[in-house]
A and B are shown apart, each in its own frame.
Chain A
């Protein structure tokens, strides 16, 4: 995963409702991830919040901005401070009970390498927010104190992390062609394996980038264009399997069509065809040939029982020749 995505994915992991080896300080403090890429109103105009987290028990929002680089947008930073919490409650349809009024605090998440620049940038913008710095082995808090007590306790001392966060969001417009290839090629192979005939670029983009629905139209369309380019490259690299059909009009978008599928081959040929496809997409990969494990005989008493039991599940899928089943 590109380092740029570490802050956002770390933030998502902090909120997971279920366990992974990553710590869940937000979840443990009673916060849930409410929304992503949310356009909120502030006194100074609209600001798109990367992640809105909400504590129902404390009626408190933490409005999170993940920063992959060293620079901050000062206007955006100031708008975070004046997000209208009550409007946010109303827009998000949040239910409040218990008598407390909702409040909020912005929080920036960045990497250990960048936090000092981010801290400086926030200072220049005239705001002071808590900053979480994601390191290799730990997360540390910098900047302003975290207002919510339960969440503040989670970051009283460096929080150990086991390694890179789960890669939920791993692509954006700044990603390289290689990175787009890496998500598009599996989608096309999945199309082969599921006996598909063709896929539109729009559908391919939805498959390749699950988070696509979250983004504004303009940004989404640019991502789709990148997917289209990657699809064209994939079809060029594996022209015996795919053909790229460019758009022909306003209503006829580009697509990728299957020319030949490994699924049409017998199981051994099919496997080899998929392996060739992997090599074609990554000619310098470190793949090696695999040898099929033999099946072990088993020992039982009754002769026919013994034979049948030994045969049960003994057919390797690689050996289940097509046509032997009497099907078409």
Chain B
């Protein structure tokens, strides 16, 4: 039988790069039931650990760590070409499994675990930014001062919007645990090798904790209504009144959108990466109110959009991952320097003190 220590041993002894894919999961019954439903009953195996499962899909095999109830780690030493497709298919197909969508600052923060080896910024906004401006910028720098170079570019105010970290590489080190080579993508896919699985876990956990705070901060602002009779007041056939909680979340573009119509038609096309559905009716030249559906999770989301901002109405019991996904994709495809109006969201977006 497998357990965590044998998984750790395999990490150290394996001469292949270890991949860890972190997925956001919403199990209704149990993690095991969701895994069996998502990947097939025959694919899932138990281990000595209640929260650790094995998963075999065709030629790919994984350890699935569900100890974190919401963010599951799918560990595998199989090649990316084998390992990635089943997980991408599952997150595409199911509303209870999603990727993690790290904003740029969250990728940047991974350097807290060691020394940056390289950075990759990949901004693709051809559909959203006018041709006379930089609309695509792929930037790769290797070496210890790579991040410094990226920071120097970010100091150019005319180009800050075109920087969006896509992946970073670092050597993570810890006095007691040793060193691990880590590459991390904005969808929280980790490629690691080294002498300490514990240190790799530490890097993953640190990344996810920062992300969790952002997601939960968004969920804390979810909008809902309560009837007073549901809150201990007397039931009445007539109105008993009620109250409202929550606040919309506003994101500000660092540069106004040049093609407002084009922006709306692109992000509500139902296609990846936004996967937002909407039947857009009439709207003003500079303001649109859209009742949309987040097809990733099958939930309604109201958006109010102007060339300067996008306002998200996350509904009670809505998933904060929808907000994080939107932010990450906007950073990647529209504005790398997008910011939140609300301090609690902004501080968790750029990872500064509120």
Which residues of A come within 8 Å of B, CB atoms?
1, 12, 16-21, 33-39, 48-49, 52, 91, 93, 163-164, 166-168, 170, 178, 182-183, 185-187, 189-196, 207, 210-217, 219, 263, 267, 271, 274-275, 277-279, 281-282, 285-293, 296, 298-301, 304-305, 308-309, 311-318, 320-322, 324-328
Contacts and interface: CB of A to CB of B under 8 A. Distances in A.
Contacts of A194: 95, 297-299
B279 A33 contact: no
A163 B293 CA distance: 24
B238 A312 contact: no
B185 interface: yes
Contact of A36 (B191, B241, B277): B241
Contacts of B120: 298
Contacts, number: 275
A168 B223 contact: yes
A287 B140 contact: no
Interface stretch (B156-164, B196-204, B284-292): B284-292
Contact of A186 (B57, B233, B265, B293): B293
Residue of A34, A48, A211, A301 with highest tally of chain B CB at under 10 A: A211
29 contacts: A35-B242, A36-B241, A36-B242, A39-B240, A39-B241, A91-B233, A166-B313, A167-B313, A186-B279, A187-B300, A190-B293, A193-B299, A210-B315, A212-B225, A213-B225, A267-B93, A271-B269, A275-B269, A278-B278, A287-B280, A290-B265, A292-B271, A298-B120, A300-B142, A305-B191, A313-B187, A317-B273, A320-B92, A325-B58
Contacts of A38: 228, 239, 241
A217 B237 contact: yes
B309 A21 contact: yes
B343 A19 contact: yes
Interface of B: 17, 19, 38-40, 43, 57-58, 79-81, 84-93, 95, 118, 120, 122, 124, 126-127, 138, 140, 142, 167, 169, 183, 185-187, 189, 191, 221, 223-228, 230, 233, 236-244, 247-248, 250, 252, 261-262, 264-266, 268-273, 275, 277-281, 287, 289, 291-295, 297-300, 302, 304, 306, 309, 311, 313, 315-316, 333, 341-344
A133 to B, nearest CB: 20
Given A217-B237, A322-B93, A19 B298 contact: no
Q: How would you classify the secondary structure of chain B's contact residues: helix, strand, loop or mixed?
A: mixed
A267 B87 CA distance: 14
A285 B342 contact: no
Contacts of A190: 293, 298-300
Contact of B88 (A33, A288, A304, A320): A320
Given A167-B302, A320-B85, A327 B90 contact: yes
